[in-house]
Amino acid sequence: MLYKELQPADSFKIRLPYPFSDYDRRLLTFLYQPMIGAEATAFYLTLWAEGEEMIEETSHYTLMNILGVPIAKIFESRIQLEAIGLMKTYRKDAENRSFIYELCPPLDPKTFFMDPLLSMFLFSKIGEPAYRRVRDRFLIQPDSQEGYEEVSRTFTDIYQPVHAKAGYPNEQKTLQERHRKTYPAEFDFDFDLLRQSLSEQLVPRRVLTATIKDNIEKLAFLYSWGPLEMQKVILLAIDDDYKLTVESLKKAASEYYKLTVATTAPQLVQSQQKEPVKKKETPKNKEDELIQYLESTPPVEVLRDIAGGKEPLTADVQLANQLVMQHGMEPAVVNVLLQYVMLRTDMKLTKAYAEKIASHWIRKKVTTAKEAMDLARTEHAQYVKWKSEGSPSSSRASGQSSRKPVREEKLPEWFYTKDEVPDAKAEPKNESLEVEKQKLLAKLAMKKGKGDY
């Protein structure tokens, strides 16, 4: 009940850790406002302005009059600022309840965009184009230093100690400090179980630094994963030199989510609010129905559907994973490619043939299932020629494939796959790590313990 939390007659005072700058205002406007909304931003700016001049306590009636909102709106704005790390609240319960509102500065752009929760929160609010524009605002524009040599003096070059009887400075008091802490959060993640499931030879204990562990907790929270899922993400993120970075961890988590759960990123919403259910447009025809399926289904699930519900082979999963993670193809485009290649090669996922078509689609900048299907139809004659060049007996197979009608019924039970094993690759630098990754990629399509997707 609100009256137990906050009332208009409750007094408050504002604490600023140090004078904020116009740069902080820019960060608040472009990075935080899309996430917390205009009302919470106005509340923060009002406290900021009041805090620069405020000496005595005042009641919340003051804020209600300045902002023109009821006390419930002020409380809602306050808890949003607390959760996002822009404010700390201290309460004193006495005869007259009072509060101290301590404003926290916005995070610097590098820390903000490196944080998986904040960056994903902003992305889900404003979309990719606006997200890229905002991020580009804070890029460092390097000046050319070609031909220059640093000649700066060091501290010891200029200053030296002199031992004189001048006493000592007074005991230091609490001084202004620029805090770089993010936001308050309590994550329930079992690192002991994660450590038990990781081999010391594959993931040395030293790579799990405090920063890496902090990001593991945030990613596990964001994607609703437990230690076993994060184990797979870590194995995908670590390189052959046993190095694990925040960037590689975030990328591996994102791609693992795309391949096993959904092709759209998760969203962050307030706990007390239910996310509105978006109405899906009813497909007008069979092709629209198929496109909707291809755009919303992970490639590994498509491989399972093609196999009639059976687990796909390691080679097929590796090929799909390589196209998405290494070559940056959209999952929906990979789905079209998988189906097209199988149809044209008597249900065989031929690696060389698939990669040749994939290379063409990458150069053509194909990003949607519709574009991929249209290009496959337009360039079909060329693709048949490529197939003929790659196989001596393909002319007969091509003729049979071209006469085989494409069924228009909806997946998942469209095809029965007969997979070809692709050519062996060169052995990586660390064989045991690569073997584990291959095993993991082969199991990406397995159902999670918490339910089906």
What integer best gives the mean pLDDT of the chain? 76
pLDDT on residue 420: 39
Task: Give the mean model confidence (pLDDT) for residues 60-64.
Answer: 90
| 329/358 Cα distance (integer angstroms) | 8
- 30-55 burial: b if 16+ Cβ within 10 Å, else e: bbbbbbbeeebbbbbebbbebbeebe
pLDDT on residue 22: 92
Confidence of residue 408 (pLDDT cuts 50, 70, 90): very low
Please check whether residues 229 and 341 belong to one and the same domain: no
Tokens representing residue 153 in the block: 């003096």
DSSP 451: B
Last residue of a domain, one of 92, 107, 122: 107
pLDDT tens-place string over residues 170-219:
666 666 666 656 666 777 777 777 777 777 777 777 888 888 888 888 88
- Whether the full predicted model's pTM is greater than 0.75, yes or no, is no
pLDDT on residue 343: 67
Provide the percentage of residues in the chain whose pLDDT is more than 90: 17
pLDDT on residue 394: 42
Confidence of residue 357 (pLDDT cuts 50, 70, 90): confident
| 446/64 Cα distance (integer angstroms) | 54
Please check whether residues 244 and 335 belong to one and the same domain: no
| 407/290 Cα distance (integer angstroms) | 11
Q: Does the residue 306 lie in any domain? A: yes
Q: Does the residue 275 lie in any domain? A: no
27: number of Cβ within 10 Å: 21
Q: Does the residue 422 lie in any domain? A: yes
Task: Give the mean model confidence (pLDDT) for residues 153-171.
Answer: 71
Residue 326, exposed/middle/buried by CB under 10 A (0-12, 13-18, 19+)? exposed
Q: Does the residue 215 lie in any domain? A: yes
| 453/450 Cα distance (integer angstroms) | 10
| 185/128 Cα distance (integer angstroms) | 26
Please check whether residues 229 and 324 belong to one and the same domain: no
Please check whether residues 94 and 199 belong to one and the same domain: no
pLDDT tens-place string over residues 423-437:
444 444 556 666 666
Instruction: Look up the domain containing 247 and give its range.
Output: 191-260
Give the CA angle between residues 292, 259, 308 to the nearest 5°: 70
pLDDT tens-place string over residues 218-270:
888 887 888 888 888 888 888 777 788 888 888 888 888 777 777 677 766 66
Please check whether residues 322 and 402 belong to one and the same domain: yes
Residue the block writes with tokens 């925040």: 246
Q: Does the residue 142 lie in any domain? A: no
Which of the pair, 205 or 122, is modelled with greater confidence?
A: 122
Please check whether residues 251 and 335 belong to one and the same domain: no
C-beta of residue 41 within 8 angstroms of C-beta of residue 80: no
Q: What residue type is assigned to position 249 of the chain?
A: L
Please check whether residues 334 and 418 belong to one and the same domain: yes
Enumerate long-range contacts of 437-442, CB under 8 Å, 24 or more apart.
437/235, 437/236, 438/314, 438/318, 439/314, 440/232, 440/235, 440/236, 441/236, 441/314, 441/317, 441/318, 441/321, 442/313, 442/314, 442/317, 442/318
Please check whether residues 325 and 256 belong to one and the same domain: no
Q: Does the residue 165 lie in any domain? A: no
Counting Cα atoms < 13 Å in the Cβ hemisphere of 392 gives 0
Task: Give the mean model confidence (pLDDT) for residues 379-402.
Answer: 59
Confidence of residue 447 (pLDDT cuts 50, 70, 90): very low
Q: Does the residue 284 lie in any domain? A: no
Please check whether residues 255 and 299 belong to one and the same domain: no
pLDDT on residue 445: 46
Q: Does the residue 200 lie in any domain? A: yes
Which of the pair, 180 or 400, is modelled with greater confidence?
A: 180
| Number of separate domains in the chain | 3
Task: Give the mean model confidence (pLDDT) for residues 91-96.
Answer: 86
Helix (H, G, I), strand (E, B) or coil at 92: strand
In the sheet with 58-59, reading across from the earlier edge strand, the strands are 58-59, 11-15, 98-103, 87-92
Please check whether residues 237 and 356 belong to one and the same domain: no
- Helix/strand/coil percent split, the chain, to 5: 55, 5, 40
